[in-house]
Amino acid sequence: MIWKALRVGMAPLFVFATAGCEQARETAPNTQPPAKRPNVLLIVADDLGYSDIGSFGAQIATPTLDSLATEGLRLSNFHVLPTCSPSRSVLLSGMDNHRAGLGTMGELRTPEMEGYPGYAGHLNFEVAALPEVLQAGGYRTYMSGKWHLGSEEETVPHARGFEETFALVPGGGSHWADRRPLSPPQTMIYRRNGKVVESLPEDFYSTKYYTDVLLEWIGRDHSDGNPFFAFLSYTAPHDPLHAPKEYIDKYRGAFDEGWDVLRERRLQGLKDLGIVPADAKAFPRLANVPAWDEMSSEQRQHAARDMEVYAAMIDYMDEQIKRVFDELKRIGEYDNTMIIFLSDNGANGAMPTAYPGQAEEFLSTFDNRLENRGLANSYIEMGPGWAQASMSPSRMFKAFTSEGGIRAPLLVKVPGAVANAGGINHSFVHVRDIMPTILELAGIEHSQDFQGRQVQPLQGRSVLELFSGQAESPYAGADQVGYELFGLKAYIDGEWKILWMPPPFGKGEWELFNLQQDPAEMIDLSSEHPDRVEAMVALWEQYKVDNTVLDISLNLADTMK
């Protein structure tokens, strides 16, 4: 049962929803107050791989998230978008990225995209953003961390429904106070409640500071009786990889056996947990990734250190999440808070030269000696070898519409008792369904007439019954979804998926996979089932029309160099 708070004139009207009826009544003095409305804590990790937390088979210490998994539900078949900002646009709008304004990333817009709201490069105004809707419904709204959905005053988070914000406006950069960007054309801009932050504390480290400011707001406001929506949007473990030295030291030697061994170890961990089938095989090491034993000793040392830093970032993030959980427990709000943890896309296998405008002159200014890797003034990344391990058994990684780019871990805890707490659900769930689910929990209706502007109706639908253990599967059609980004395409229909990627990543024609039998997308069944391919291509073509998808490709080959 859910209390739905609506506003009629100046007086609140509460609608009590049951399974079979709805009865409206106006609150009156001396009557029993309605149940306290739930809080929502949405935690997003940046470029975290599918198996990078303990509850998904990792050998990285994540006790906080593992505990969350035992209290709630693990979703093994959760799908997002291939890269950061498109994923976040869907998360905060309940709409396809082409409708929400991120048909491509803002950094990669081209002249032929001008005039198309779906390619605005920011969260457009044809959608009502989740924080806008929750704020209008009486929620306090907080956002701390990465935004990446607009950099102008009218498109930053403080202008899109967040009451309190400390936001990294672009997609990434240094995790330290030096604010060194991902590439020379970019600048690292932080905004606090819309205003540019001129300087950061000397001891700034992104993961800790994002947590600090969120705890400040929650602690300040918790006694006012209003529910809150908190969006804790970490930049960890996005490159450049940075972590406090003592956390890096904790993983010294942990990855000395190399990425081939780790890829198989992660796969076995997933099998042991029942997350992937016992007979699943990992997509093989890419041709441009050297075998570990063929690398020089120095190359292996550097590569192992990079993965040590990556693991340290995740370990540290887990400890900061514990601080938030501890505070919610201290103020008596933990049990009344929906907690959602996810990654925005697959692990990042791209090299730093993939960023627009990147130059060797810029990269040469960093100190990437072994003893400084992961510390201030270093610029390192995990690269394709480790990214494949983090995404095992999937094909490829971030930026691709294959499963390695779009499958992510999802942990959910809803207020109250969950019948199957600690369980794993294998139903297909898409990121477009997160916003409608939160709105149903909050008891807030989504209206196409939002604060004087017409917005599009939600494409996603609530899966609250699934998250709360009241249903084993989501609504009919939840497992039908189209994809396009950078000219890479896919359509999923239940256990079947068609995939189009150019050489050398694909065949340059539609391939067909049975994801249940072949999660690594290695066995192309298109020649055996031509009728199914034809029918699914027709579905993708309709998806293209419905969402105004443009035929614009981006050469991703350089991301692998």
Q: Is the pLDDT of residue 17 over 50?
A: no
Domain boundaries, the chain: 1-32, 36-479
pLDDT tens track for 461-497: 999 999 999 999 999 999 999 999 999 999 999 999 9
- pLDDT band of 394, cuts 50, 70, 90: very high
Distances (CA, A) of 384 to 52, 287, 297, 355: 15, 11, 19, 15
pLDDT tens track for 333-357: 999 999 999 999 999 999 888 888 8
- pLDDT band of 2, cuts 50, 70, 90: very low
The phi, psi pair for 177, rounded to 5°, reads -75, -15
Question: What helix, strand, coil percent values describe the chain, rounded to 5?
Answer: 30, 20, 50
Q: Is the pLDDT of residue 390 over 70?
A: yes
Q: Write a three-state SS string for 321-346.
A: HHHHHHHHHHCCCCCCEEEEEEECCC
CB burial string 180-198: b at 16+ within 10 A, e below: bbbbbebebbbbeeeeebe
Alpha helix positions (H), 197-238? 206-221
Distances (CA, A) of 37 to 271, 307, 333: 39, 42, 11
CB burial string 69-97: b at 16+ within 10 A, e below: bebbbbbbbbbbbbbbbbbbbbbbbbbbb
Distances (CA, A) of 382 to 29, 99, 207, 239, 355: 60, 32, 18, 8, 15
pLDDT value of position 553:
75
Mean pLDDT confidence for 302-316 = 98
Give the integer Cα–Cα distance in Å for 180 and 166. 18
21 is a catalytic site residue: no
Name 386's Cβ contacts closer than 8 Å, sequence gap at least 6: 255, 259, 262, 303, 306, 307, 310, 347, 349
Q: Compute CA 177 distance to the chain's CA centroid, rounded to the nearest angstrom.
A: 24
For the four alpha carbons of 251, 253, 259 and 264, in that order, the dihedral sign comes to negative
Run of H or E residues at 317: helix 297-330
Give the integer Cα–Cα distance in Å for 541 and 546. 9
CB burial string 393-430: b at 16+ within 10 A, e below: bbbbbbbbbbbbbbbbbbbbbbbeebeeeeebbbbbbb
pLDDT tens track for 143-167: 999 999 999 999 999 999 999 999 9
Asked which of 84-88, 183-187, 365-369 is least confident by mean pLDDT, the reply is: 183-187
Closest CA to 215 of 240, 197, 232, 235: 232
pLDDT value of position 558:
53
pLDDT value of position 14:
28
Distances (CA, A) of 103 to 127, 165, 479: 14, 25, 21
Q: Is the pLDDT of residue 7 over 80?
A: no
Name 250's Cβ contacts closer than 8 Å, sequence gap at least 6: 61, 312, 315
Distances (CA, A) of 369 to 75, 192, 289, 310, 512: 40, 35, 22, 16, 45
Selecting among 84, 98, 122, 430, the annotated active-site residue is: 84
Give the integer Cα–Cα distance in Å for 159 and 387. 35
For domain 36-479, the CATH superfamily is Alkaline Phosphatase, subunit A (3.40.720.10)
DSSP 496: E
Distances (CA, A) of 438 to 88, 143, 263, 394: 15, 16, 35, 29
Q: Is the pLDDT of residue 11 over 80?
A: no
Asked which of 182-191, 205-214, 300-309 is least confident by mean pLDDT, the reply is: 182-191
Selecting among 98, 122, 148, 238, the annotated active-site residue is: 148
Mean pLDDT confidence for 321-330 = 98
pLDDT value of position 12:
31
Average pLDDT over the chain, rounded to an integer: 92
Mean pLDDT confidence for 117-122 = 95
Cβ atoms of residues 164 and 195 within 8 Å: no
pLDDT value of position 18:
29
pLDDT tens track for 198-251: 999 999 999 999 999 999 999 999 999 999 999 999 999 999 999 999 999 999
pTM of the model: 0.93
Tokens of 405: 């780019």
Give the integer Cα–Cα distance in Å for 171 and 283. 29
Closest CA to 387 of 246, 288, 519: 288
Give the integer Cα–Cα distance in Å for 172 and 174. 7
Name 529's Cβ contacts closer than 8 Å, sequence gap at least 6: 512
pLDDT value of position 399:
97
Name 223's Cβ contacts closer than 8 Å, sequence gap at least 6: none
Closest CA to 383 of 352, 343, 345, 346: 352
